Structure 1
């Protein structure tokens, strides 16, 4: 059982979801994950100005956000009353493909709702849609759609297994995982790894997820790992994706994991951390990859799965 890669950073709902987004986030520097986490906590505490100030400082220093995290910058800035700055962020970030457009348009949040009521919104919306069409024209849209469809089937199977109590129930996900992996092998052989430039951020994340859940084929996971490592160096994939797949590969090889993302459910139902190298340095390694601390993640697991985590 690994960190939930599909928890959405732009959910802005419960603390576990906000923490889990860090588990799926890429970050360039160790301090960034902590700074972003502080902003999330402030947002949850209704300190929208503190959230906006923290994220604004990160943005202007050129620090990387977790994938999709820039939407929280827009939300907090708008909720704090600075609609002009929020709109400027929207224009800049959309041009860099760093905002999830669907959430920007439809997510029901105080700041975003206020921003949509601005007179300048229709003009900005038209500009955003034009940018999206231009990017889509440069992408492999059929491949992106297939990746997202397969991701949806994967997640439906995973969620059903979790609802059934996890453990042995995860065996029911094998047919979907196997079919996805076999299909993705042909894609990689014909077109190479699906990068953000090829299939968008959501498509690239979906491709990684299909590999991450291909536990029935550890050789395939090991084969893909250097491809994702190379993509992450070019900002074509998340660093956290590298961390989570690295742990998956190491565990399959009978070695201690590096980033502490893999847990196993014991006979008593409690979740136990699998053997991990250099425990004193674990949180530093996690932070460097944009992951929350181990203690924070254990709290996420306990609340998300309703099981004790040791």
Structure 2
């Protein structure tokens, strides 16, 4: 088991708020062209994505996993297997129905797809999903908050500094920033609040 996998497990478990990243999103379809069946399948995938994390959090604290490498490896293996299964299901849905933006599956459906995709360990998949997010966001059909979260998580998982300051370590400190002096400007450009304390209203 690679050390990076264990580190990713501890990071994901320590950042408790990722399930509510897209605040202010509606819970019901609101567009005539919306695919309700697709939306429901995405919501089910997101539920599965969150359940395994809740199960691990219920069984271990981050500190216990840090101290017990055997348990950490076992939980990391379970988590990665679940993520791969969810990614495969999401990929199949995208191939069948198209990219899950707000116009197609509603705000909560798009957010559900985001939750599953951001946890993928497949960089090629994440990069392609992000390209589609950016296109949809430019058309007003994707949450810019979710876009910022995805950009930052993808950068960090690729070993690079984050751009929008949405990702924090287990101790609450920010991960390394790209050009910190321009952070407020970058956030303002996509409608995010200034990063003062906490995470500026966003959670990883």
Q: Look up the SS of the partner of 2:19 in the other structure.
A: coil
Q: What are the residue-to-residue correspondences of 1:229-244 with 2, within 5 Å?
A: 229-244=134-149
Change (3 A) 1:249 1:299: closer
CA contact (8 A) 1:247 1:261 kept: yes
For 2:181, the equivalent position in structure 1 comes to 280
Query: TM-score if structure 1 supplies the norm length?
Result: 0.50
Deviation at 1:203, TM superposition (A): 0.7
1:31-69: CA deviation from partner (whole Å, max 9, x where unpaired): xxxxxxxxxxxxxxxxxxxxxxxxxxxxxxxxxxxx33x
Q: Name structure 1 gaps, 5 residues minimum.
A: 8-22, 26-66, 69-98, 102-131, 305-310
Structure 2: distance between partners of 1:288 and 1:161: 37
CA contact (8 A) 1:177 1:210 kept: yes
Q: Name structure 2 gaps, 5 residues minimum.
A: 1-10, 66-71
Q: What are the residue-to-residue correspondences of 1:40-79 with 2, within 5 Å?
A: 67-68=24-25
For 1:149, the equivalent position in structure 2 comes to 44
How many matched pairs? Answer: 179
- Answer yes or no: is 1:188 the counterpart of 2:186: no
For 2:6, the equivalent position in structure 1 comes to none
Q: Look up the SS of the partner of 1:228 in the other structure.
A: helix
Out of 17, 34, 48, the residue aligned to residue 4 of structure 1 is 17
CA contact (8 A) 1:143 1:199 kept: yes
Change (3 A) 1:175 1:140: same
Deviation at 1:220, TM superposition (A): 0.7
Please identify the structure whose Cα radius of gyration is greater: 1
For 1:140, the equivalent position in structure 2 comes to 35
- Answer yes or no: is 1:175 the counterpart of 2:81: yes
For 1:308, the equivalent position in structure 2 comes to none
Out of 254, 262, 265, the residue aligned to residue 159 of structure 2 is 254
CA contact (8 A) 1:3 1:262 kept: no
CA contact (8 A) 1:3 1:261 kept: no
Change (3 A) 1:259 1:283: same
